[in-house]
A and B are shown apart, each in its own frame.
Chain A
């Protein structure tokens, strides 16, 4: 997977990166973002590609797939930069004319639409029978604000994706206009899109077919949004691209695509599938993250993840789950070191220079510093007197960058998707939420499957360790206790039964069921 033939170098400029290390291992870029932004950014890119007729066309690491995302400035002003609307309606005391006039003036003075659109919302008068009707639509749409109560500025407030017009990019106000920002949409959603775009064609075709209806502009919900926008299509931003995913193929790509396709195949009404896609996207990028790190350490496949099904008190399963999380959290840093050993410090010419007795330490350090700029685009001037010190400083600089960047991003994904939590304790551990378990059942169960077979499946597919049969081989002996893991498995069964995802036949037999599979 990590061989040179399976990767292609980044196509773009690395000028804005302090160094190109984690980016070369995991891509540009996996970073912490509000969890809801992951799905929105992913759908935004997919929608842009769909409009261009390129939805889930195969991509390569060396390509630069670009798209234009919606801006929907009128809509966003109406929903998130329009604080006086209700007050104006109240004060007009039934006079529609007065309400419209006051409100249109307020919007003319305060709305922020950049240089391409005028702050003129009078088109709405023709569309709504009364000002009150407009207010009720705005009120209705505000109810589906993503992360309500977040203190982000109005340009970084989003809607639940009820149609293509409800998908738009994060921007910030600059002067009289707007600029794209990668602060809320960090590119992680685009990484998710790129992962799917490198899955096998039959899977991509399946997803393409089933995702497309979500981008249909003629659904009732999208029409509702479009009533607030003056043009027949939403306004759009500049073309954007530059997201990099290093590998041509990776086991995570098909794995993610299979689960996404399975959820979309349930034919859930309207946008209900997004409810399950959201945690799964986060889950799969996290798996991609740790599997890639594991490969850099010379191991094959996913490292084991011992998962506690929330227990009333601490037992060995919890200890094993904490240990397993810490172990996997640590392999990212080791992967960074391995990567540096393999791609930076193994260079024959560098080694020759460093061994050259005719050069003094300063010259060697200078050479190494240049080498770092050449190989990993290091920008920072690390203040060292000799090459050994410089190397040490660089290792620690690179791991710190990883910690605050991709490492932190992976933690955010794992907690956001419900795989990792501190519930009931003060340390992170694998403790999947009921919502994630539901998404996993929906994605993996097509006909009734016996509980132990399902646990085996979760183990072989995701390396999730829940029951004693799986824990026996993968959990360190001092953390393994058959009784505790049996209790963990029992809790798993009880949770599924409680959620209507399993049917208990007797003490010896429980079936895991997908309640949505009865579709005809």
Chain B
């Protein structure tokens, strides 16, 4: 049924970005089509990689580069190519057959630029391999990359398609194309950008998730069409008591926006990338999701009107939709963004103080003020009104069946998620809400490590010592002091990675002139790096949030291998590389065995290897 009002049209458009069935194959072009039909402009913002791309084509100097523009589906590759054509020629791209050739006059002379922005449309196959003509074009691109010439290329391709393209090359392609292939794979896999000065890989997945979240939030929320919530409030869809209005108001608060920005920062430092399409999908679903709608997302029309009258808006509350609770498990699983959110386990970890507040807060005089402020305050009516009844049954011990216990626990987790989303920064800190997630130390990581180093300062000494303690305990297998001032590099008698490694190799001082342990920033959107120095050499590794969390937990007393086998194996592999790259060898005159005193300090015991 066609949408009638402006508000309904806007919702139709916003819905197209959500996790609806036809979104899978929906390309930028199709959203364009829908936007045109509806007469509502699509979501738009300046692409964060735009400058990176335009910088490769300076009309001032004529110094062009070949560019491969890659990323996941929905990152905006095609739009960027269209924009480039417009910038260079002043004309709109024709967009026929997935390929376009333009001629550009520059101060350095004329240049020809071939853009392939739809590889599937452009590529022709014969006998399972790409056609001779396509091979010739790739050969020209390879020649331009490794040689000289005035002809340049832009290839916009999904990372999966890039490999498919190279896989489909006939076996006898010229060596130069193979060189192009290996150079690109190397740049891509190593997160690098330039090969010489004539080839650049612009990987849109490298744009910081935080920046993408900021742009997407603005693109969705700062739209004039939202006046529909006031102007069309008689329409059940836009009624203040229905989920859409409540969810919009929840999202459009500084607290929630900041919370989503933090989640995006977490993605960056945990080594995840949130693509534009994923973020838009998440936002669209958080607003429009409804578990009782036909395809779990509201569609303007009779169905939405009927749902609005049921009075069950809390079933589609923002903090439920945000994590995809309204969607089927299959639909959730196939989207990276929900896999990321579920990996955080938000609300799934129990914490004594906070759970006490949630369960007994309304009944306990002492807890009551905190309860009223944090739990009962629910400005946009997002809380499940049945939760109190469930809670009462739980407290009275009336919950007997496994099913009901399960339901109570899952509702308790939902409640923790609600507060996680709604809490102000002060409340968040006071109740240590990161403890309800898998990353108990996320705040310390962002505020005490990442933020200072980005501001050019060192992280606090306390946190450096914590890192050192964690490293010492994992790498030696011994319960060393929890206030380490130095890092001990040790090895086992048999293997570097022995569970107990007590042969001393080197000691790195945190406070030496050139610190033995340092955390240094990397480019925006990446985790910082740890640098270990000794023996005139250094060893670096990325300090991702999962690694930081593991080090902190171990420093706090967790047993490395029982806390996370995977992280433990990761650190063992790092240790093997570290000792190799620092070229540390035991002395041939004596072996220094280390032993731990009760206080966690070490004692060295030499074993002489030569006659006195």
Chain A positions near chain B (C-beta within 8 angstroms)? 127, 133, 136-137, 140-141, 143-144, 160, 162, 218-221, 223-224, 227, 267-272, 275, 447-450, 452-453, 498-500, 503, 505-509, 511, 513, 515-516, 518-520
Contacts and interface: CB of A to CB of B under 8 A. Distances in A.
A450 B163 contact: yes
Given A219-B588, A269-B580, A143 B160 contact: no
Contacts of A508: 72-73, 158-161
Contacts of B239: none
B421 to A, nearest CB: 27
25 contacts: A137-B607, A140-B593, A218-B588, A220-B585, A220-B588, A220-B589, A220-B591, A223-B588, A224-B607, A224-B609, A268-B496, A269-B491, A269-B584, A270-B585, A272-B495, A448-B190, A500-B570, A505-B72, A506-B158, A506-B273, A507-B72, A509-B159, A511-B185, A515-B577, A518-B577
Nearest to A218: B588
A452 B566 contact: no
Given A269-B491, A270-B496, A516-B580, 4 more contacts: A143-B500, A275-B495, A448-B185, A506-B159
Contact of A133 (B491, B500, B607): B607
Interface string B65-107: 0000001110000000000000000000000000000000000
Interface in B580-607: 580-581, 584-591, 593, 605, 607
A507 B158 CA distance: 10
Interface string B162-197: 110001000000000000001001101110000000
Contacts of B523: none
A269 B167 CA distance: 37
Contacts of B495: 160, 270-272, 275
B280 to A, nearest CB: 16
Contacts of B587: 220
Given A220-B587, A516-B576, A499 B569 contact: yes
A519 B581 contact: yes
Given A506-B159, A509-B163, A143 B579 contact: no
B386 interface: no
A160 B496 CA distance: 13
Contacts of B32: none
Nearest to B566: A498
Contacts of B609: 220, 223-224, 227
Contacts of A162: 493-494
A344 to B, nearest CB: 45
Contacts of B427: none
Counting chain A CB atoms within 10 Å of each CB, the highest count among B182, B273, B494, B587 belongs to: B494
A136 B607 contact: yes
B438 to A, nearest CB: 15
B607 A269 contact: no
Contact of A506 (B160, B186, B334, B491): B160
B437 interface: no
B402 interface: no
A500 B569 contact: yes
Contacts of B160: 506-509
Contact of B577 (A133, A136, A513, A516): A516
B205 interface: yes
The 6 closest A-B pairs by CB, nearest first: A508-B160, A448-B189, A509-B159, A160-B494, A506-B72, A223-B609
B573 interface: yes
A498 B609 CA distance: 41
A133 B189 CA distance: 51
B610 interface: yes
Interface residues of B, number: 51
A307 to B, nearest CB: 21
A127 B566 contact: no
Contacts of A447: 182, 185-186, 189
Contacts of B496: 268-270, 272
A335 B159 CA distance: 47
Given A136-B605, A224-B591, A269-B491, A505 B188 contact: yes
B518 interface: no
B513 interface: no
B540 to A, nearest CB: 10
Nearest to A512: B189
A507 to B, nearest CB: 6
Interface string B244-267: 000000000000000000000000
A221 B493 contact: yes
B611 interface: yes
B336 interface: yes
B321 interface: no
Contact of A507 (B336, B566, B590): B336
B497 interface: yes
Contact of A452 (B161, B163, B585): B163
Contacts of A520: 581
Contacts of A498: 566
Counting chain A CB atoms within 10 Å of each CB, the highest count among B162, B167, B580, B605 belongs to: B580
A143 B500 CA distance: 10
Counting chain B CB atoms within 10 Å of each CB, the highest count among A162, A271, A275, A509 belongs to: A509
A505 B205 contact: yes
A519 B493 CA distance: 23
Contacts of B273: 506
Contacts of A515: 573, 577
B494 A144 contact: yes
B493 A143 contact: yes
A457 to B, nearest CB: 13
B581 to A, nearest CB: 7
A435 to B, nearest CB: 10
Contacts of A507: 72, 160, 334, 336
Contacts of B188: 448, 505, 511
Contacts of B491: 269-270
Nearest to A507: B336
Nearest to B493: A144
Nearest to B572: A500
Nearest to A143: B493
Contact of A503 (B189, B584, B585, B590): B189
A500 B570 CA distance: 6
Contacts of B205: 505-506
B393 to A, nearest CB: 34
Interface string B534-574: 00000000000000000000000000000000100110010
Contacts of A516: 576-577, 580
A190 B140 CA distance: 54
B497 A272 contact: yes
Contact of B163 (A143, A218, A227, A453): A453
Counting chain A CB atoms within 10 Å of each CB, the highest count among B493, B585, B586, B605 belongs to: B493
Contacts of A503: 189
A338 B576 CA distance: 48
Counting chain B CB atoms within 10 Å of each CB, the highest count among A220, A271, A453, A515 belongs to: A220
Contacts of B590: 220
A92 to B, nearest CB: 19
Counting chain B CB atoms within 10 Å of each CB, the highest count among A275, A506, A520 belongs to: A506
